[in-house]
Structure 1
Amino acid sequence: MFRTSQTTFMITKKNFGQLPSGEVVDEYTLSNSRGLSAKVITYGGIITELHTLDRAGKSADIVLGFSSLEKYLEGHPYFGCITGRIAGRLTSGKFTLDGKSYSLAINNAPNHLHGGNTGLDKRVWSAEIVKHSSGSDALRLSYLSPDGEEGYPGNVRIAVTYVVTEANELTIEYEATTDKATLLSLTNHAYFNLAGEGSGRVDDHVLQIFSDEIAPCGEAMTLIDRREAVAGKANDFTKPKRVGDALPGLWNNHGDNYFLRTQSTGAGAKLTPAARLVEPRSGRVLEITTTEPCVQFYSSSSLDDSFVGKAGKRYEKHGALCLECQRYPNSINAPHLGNITLRPGETYRQTTVHSFSVEK
C-alpha cells in the first residue's frame, strides 16, 4: 500500500485460479479513495471488474466478465483483455515485411483477428507493483512473446501498466521492444455498461466519438482500406447520440473503426479525445483520451444470452459496448492509413486514459 498525507492508493493481491498446465493466475485490485476500483488478472491482463459511483453515490461494476477463471478458459469474446499482437482484423491474415511473406491464422474467416488462436489474451503475464508518475502505485504486467508465436516474427517484450489515480482515472500504458522487425498494435477490449454489467441493453447510453471518418468494411467485416466520412450517417457520433438510435443503421449492427482527428503515435504523442459515454439514469460518464490514431466502437452485436455474468444475469445482444483505442489493423497492407511496424531499436508506446465522473 502507498499512502500520502492526503490520499490512499491500494493494490491487493489474491489467487484467482490455476490453469490445467499448473500455472497460477493472480488477481490484483487497484483502488482510490473516490470509489473507483479495478480488478485485473494475470491471465490475459483481463479487467474482470471495474467499480465506480453513480450520482447517488452507489457503486456498480460497469464491465462484463466472469467471477472465475474456469469461465474465461471456456472461451469468451475477449472480455476486458489485452488484445494483440494486432488488435482487429488483418485482411486474409497475410502480409509482407522486408521482403518476407507471412501467413497468420484465419480465426475469423476470411481474416486474422486479435492476434490469432492463442493471442496475448490467453497468456499468463508476470506481475509487479511499481510507482507511477501520478503518485499512485501501479500494476505492471510483462510478457515475452517469442519469435514465431502465432506466426509473428520477433521476440517481443511487452509491458502493460494499469493505474487507478486519485483523479478518478484508469490509465493503461503499453510499452514494447523487439529483436526483429514485426507488427504490433495493442488495445484493451473492455465491454462497458455504465448502468452496471448484466443490466440490459445499452440503447439509452449517449455516445460521442471525436472523429469525422471511419474505415469501412466489406463482407465478413473485411477492411476496405480507405477513409469514409460519417457526416449525416447512422455512424455519425460527432455530436452526442443515443446508441439505440444508431444501431439499426450500423453495418451488421456492429460498429466501426474511427480515425481520430489527431493522428500522432509513439514517443511524444499527446493524449487526444477519443470518446465520451454517458448513462443518463445513473449519471455515470466515461471519457476516453488516447495517444492512438483510432478507436474501434463495437456494439456487442455477437452477444446472444449464452454468457452468464458475475451478477448471474445473461449478457444479451448490445448489452455493452467497446471503445478500443488502437492503430489501423491492416496498415501493413495499406500504409496510407498508418503504421504498425516495430523495428529493433524502437520502442512501442501507447497510453489510454479512462476518466470517470457523474452528471448531476
Structure 2
Amino acid sequence: MSQSHVIPRKDSFGHFTDGREVNRYTFCNQNDVTVRVIELGCVITDIRVPDKEGIVADINLGYDAVKDYETNPLSLGAICGRVVNVISNARFTLDDKEYHVTKNFGNHCIHGGKRSFTHQLWSSWIEDDKVKMKYVSADGEEGFPGELTTIVSYQLTNQNELVIEYSASTNKPTPVNLTNHAYFNLAGHNYPNLDEHVLQILADKFTPTKENDIYIPSGEIRDVSGTMYDLRQPVRLGNRLGKMPHGKGYFNNFCVTNVDGSLRLIAKLDHPPTGRRMEVYTTEPGVQCYTGGDTIPHTQGKEGAVYEKLCSICLETQHYPDSVNQESFPNTVLRPGQQYHSKTVYKFGLLDK
C-alpha cells in the first residue's frame, strides 16, 4: 500500500455534555476523497468519494452532532472495544478465574459494554500524515481485567486508501478484539437500500451461529460451499438479503483464508449504478459482515437522512466473535509484555469500464 502524504487539519466538532471539546480532523486528498474523524468514540464521521461522473457523495452513515455520538447506540463509525462483537452470557474464564462483564445485548455483552470505547473521549494528536487517538481503559472497566492502553491511527493516501492501525498493551491478561464499525452505502449514506450493491468476500469458511440464538457462534468453523454464505464470487445483495434466515440479512463472521498476519484482500463491495468500489484489506483473521437487518429501526441520521434496516453494510475486520469462550477460535487474550497490533485498509475507487 502506498503511503503518499495527505496532511490532516484540525478543528472543533462541538462539546461533550460535560463541556469538554471534541476535536475533529479532516483529510482531503488530490482525488476529491475526504475523510473526517472525531475524538469521541474515535469515530469516522464522513467518507466522501466521487462516482464515475465525478459527483461526490458521503458513503458513511453518521450523525450531525456531538450529542448523538455520545449515545451512538448503533456504534456508527466508532471504534468498538475492548472486545468487539459478542461475549456469550457476558462472562469468560481466564487463567482459572471467571470474569463477568456488562450485559448490554440481552444476556450477552456486545462491543465492550454499555460505556465502551465507542462512548469515550479519546486524546488525539497529528503525527506526520496520521491522526492518532489514545484511550486508557481502567482495570475493571465494564468488568474487564487489566488497564488497557489503546492507540488507533487514521491515514488517507492519494491512492484513496483509508488506513487504520491499532495497537494496545495491558498490565494484566485480558481479551482484546478491536474494529471500526463504519456503516457503508456506496450510493450515498441516505440511500434506502443495498439492492444494487455487489459483494464478494474471499473466505472459504465462516462461523455458524446457534439455532436458538442467531448472534452467538456455535463454535464450529464451517465450509461456505453450498450455503448462503458462499460469497467467493460476486453476489448482488438484492438477490440474497431477502432469502437469509430470519429476514435479518447477514450478521456473520467470515474466516480469512490462509491468514498469516500479512495484509490481504478480504472483501470487495461494488455499486454499478454509481461505479463506486470499495476494497477491504486486513491483517485480522476474520471479517464480520453485518447488513443491519434488525437493529436499525428508523434512525435519524445526518443531513436529514433516516436510516432503516438493510440500508447499509458493515465489513468489520476482527477476530472471531466470542473467541474468549471458544477454544477452536484464534486467541484474543493479550498478556503483559505483549503488543496487540492490527491493520485494516479501506480502498475506494471506480469499477473498470
Instruction: Give the TM-score of the pair, scaled to structure 2.
Output: 0.95
1:73 aligns with 2:70: yes
Task: In structure 2, give the amino acid aligned to 1:226.
Answer: E
Conservation of the 8 A alpha-carbon contact between 2:165 and 2:342: yes
Choose the corresponding residue for 1:168, options 152, 157, 160. Answer: 160
Residues paired across the two proteins, number: 346
2:316 is matched with: 324
For residues 122-137 of structure 1, the aligned pairs below 5 Å read 122-131=119-128, 137=129
Work out whether residues 258 and 294 of structure 1, in 8 Å CA contact, stay in contact via their aligned partners in 2.
yes
Equivalent residue in structure 2 for 1:228, among 210, 213, 222? 222
Distance in 1 separating the partners of 2:71 and 2:78: 15
2:108 is aligned with 1:111: yes
CA RMSD of aligned residues (A): 1.5
Q: Indicate if the aligned counterparts of 1:328 and 1:339 stay in contact, CA closer than 8 A.
A: no
- Unmatched 5+ residue regions in structure 2? none
- Partner residue of 2:284? 292
Please tell me the residue identity of whatever aligns with 2:47. L
Seen in structure 2, the aligned counterparts of structure 1 residues 8 and 353 have a Cα distance that, compared at 3 Å, is: closer
Mapped partners of 1:263, 1:329: distance in 2: 17
Query: Structure 1 vs Structure 2: percent identity of aligned residues?
Result: 37
**1:223 is matched by which residue type in structure 2?**
P
SS in 1 for 2:323: coil
Structure 1 gaps, min length 5: 1-6, 132-136
Letter in 1 for 2:135: Y
Q: 2:328 aligns with which of 323, 336, 339?
A: 336
Q: Distance in 2 between matches of 1:178 and 1:8?
A: 32
- C-alpha deviation, 1:305, in angstroms: 5.0
Kept in 2, the 8 Å contact 1:197–1:311? The answer is no
1:3-23 deviation digits (Å, cap 9, x = unpaired): xxxx76231112112222222
Structure 1, residues 87-118: CA drift from partner, whole Å, max 9, x if none?
11111111111111101111111211000011
Q: Does 1:120 align with 2:117?
A: yes
Using the alignment, how far apart are the partners of 1:149 and 1:105 within structure 2?
9
Q: Which amino acid aligns with 2:90?
A: G
Partner residue in 1 for 2:7 = 10
1:49-101, CA deviations, whole angstroms, 9 ceiling, x for partnerless residues?
00111111111100000111122234431100001111111111111111111
Instruction: Indicate if the aligned counterparts of 1:262 and 1:272 stay in contact, CA closer than 8 A.
Output: no
Match of 2:45 in 1: 48
Cα distance in 2, alignment partners of residues 107 and 64 from structure 1:
23
SS in 2 for 1:48: strand
Q: Which amino acid aligns with 1:28?
A: Y
**Are residue 214 (structure 1) and residue 211 (structure 2) matched?**
no
Following TM superposition, where does structure 1 have runs of at least 4 consecutive aligned residues deviating by more than 6 angstroms?
none
| 1:277 equivalenced with 2:273 (yes/no) | no
Is this contact kept in 1: 2:298–2:309, CA < 8 A? no
Following the alignment from structure 1 to structure 2, what is the Cα–Cα distance between the partners of residues 46 and 335? 32
Structure 2 CA distance for aligned equivalents of residues 241 and 139 of structure 1: 35
Q: Say which is worse superposed, 70-79 or 178-187, in terms of deviation.
A: 70-79
| Equivalent position amino acid for 1:109 in 2 | G
Q: Structure 1 pair 75/355, CA: closer, same or farther in 2 (3 Å)?
A: closer
Contact kept? 2:216, 2:322, Cα under 8 Å:
no
